[in-house]
């Protein structure tokens, strides 16, 4: 098993992709803790992980606040004895519009999800990882970080997250902590599958003419979390079926 005796903490565990990541980790031997706003929203993930024979802890909390991030890490370590892997999945809204349309509330919410929570949760997790001899942090980013028309706020927040990932890799490499980002394109979720016209257009725009699934995201995160990537850090890895490739 690739993650035997490892402890993983992830945000967004209540989402379809969060569930897929939790299951992938559990199948490879990791104990999984996940945080969300309401524990009830993650009960499906909890049951799925336990059904697969894994151990799962659901923690209510706000990683966008120092006190919340500290409590989330402390509860994880108290339950499982340590921390080796952190997945900053995030839960940002996909705000549509130019800078002329972004509200102050939308700006604060997006930056809290994409930056504050990553900084604060990582800040609290790193000391626990150091006690285990190192660790792996995976930031869930987006190809929007390259810049997308009418997605000004998301483009800015993800570009900042990508730069933060590289800075963290440089800062914490000497402590044997790897930090990478997965730049995810449109994902074939159950919700998207119910919109066949949009799905067809997104598939057409991808070089591979298909979209990845939440399970594909989970496999990529698993790679970055495991020793399969033990010498990889500071990487911004696109997972988008070639959607972001230049066409000229």
> Residue 246 has what pLDDT?
86
Residue 247 has pLDDT above 90, yes or no: no
Complete domains list, the chain, with CATH: 7-238 (3.40.50.720)
Q: What is the mean pLDDT of residues 157-175?
A: 97
Give the angle subtended at the CA of 165 by the CAs of 111 and 110, to the nearest 5°.
Answer: 10
Query: Strand (E) positions, the chain?
Result: 7-11, 31-36, 56-60, 85-88, 135-142, 177-184, 236-239
The mean of the pLDDT values for the chain is 94
CA distance 73 to 51: 25
> Residue 124 has what pLDDT?
98
Spell out the alpha helix ranges (H) of 132-246.
152-172, 190-193, 196-205, 214-225
Q: What is the mean pLDDT of residues 22-40?
A: 95
Residue 46 has pLDDT above 90, yes or no: yes
CA distance 163 to 182: 13
CA distance 82 to 19: 21
CA nearest 98: which of 146, 154, 163? 154
Q: What is the mean pLDDT of residues 145-162?
A: 93
Cα distances (angstroms) measured from residue 18 to each of 32, 49, 67, 174, 216 = 11, 11, 23, 29, 12
Q: What is the mean pLDDT of residues 115-133?
A: 97
> Residue 248 has what pLDDT?
73
Tokens of 90: 């995030």
> Residue 37 has what pLDDT?
87
CA distance 70 to 217: 27
The pLDDT tens digits of the residues spanning 87-119 come to 999 766 668 899 999 999 999 989 988 899 999
Q: What is the mean pLDDT of residues 217-226?
A: 98
Q: What is the mean pLDDT of residues 198-203?
A: 94
């Amino acid at each position: 098993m690739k993650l035997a005796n490892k402890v993983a903490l992830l945000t967004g565990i209540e989402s379809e992709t969060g569930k897929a990541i939790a299951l992938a980790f559990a199948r490879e031997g990791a104990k999984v803790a996940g945080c969300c706003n309401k524990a009830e929203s993650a009960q499906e993930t909890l049951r799925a992980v336990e059904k697969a024979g894994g151990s799962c802890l659901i923690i209510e909390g706000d990683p966008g606040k120092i006190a919340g991030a500290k409590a989330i890490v402390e509860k994880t370590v108290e339950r499982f004895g340590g921390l080796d892997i952190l997945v900053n999945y995030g839960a940002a809204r996909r705000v549509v519009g130019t800078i002329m349309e972004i509200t102050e509330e939308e700006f604060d919410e997006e930056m809290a999800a994409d930056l504050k929570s990553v900084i604060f949760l990582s800040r609290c997790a790193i000391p626990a990882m150091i006690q285990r001899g190192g660790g792996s942090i995976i930031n869930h980013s987006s190809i929007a970080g390259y810049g997308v028309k009418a997605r000004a706020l998301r483009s800015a927040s993800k570009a900042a997250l990508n730069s933060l990932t590289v800075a963290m890799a440089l800062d914490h490499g000497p402590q044997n902590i790897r930090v990478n980002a997965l730049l995810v394109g449109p994902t074939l979720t159950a919700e998207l599958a119910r919109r066949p016209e949009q799905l067809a257009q997104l598939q057409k725009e991808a070089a591979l003419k298909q979209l990845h699934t939440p399970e594909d995201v989970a496999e990529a995160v698993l790679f970055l979390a495991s020793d399969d990537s033990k010498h990889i850090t500071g990487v911004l890895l696109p997972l988008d079926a070639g959607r972001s490739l230049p066409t000229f």
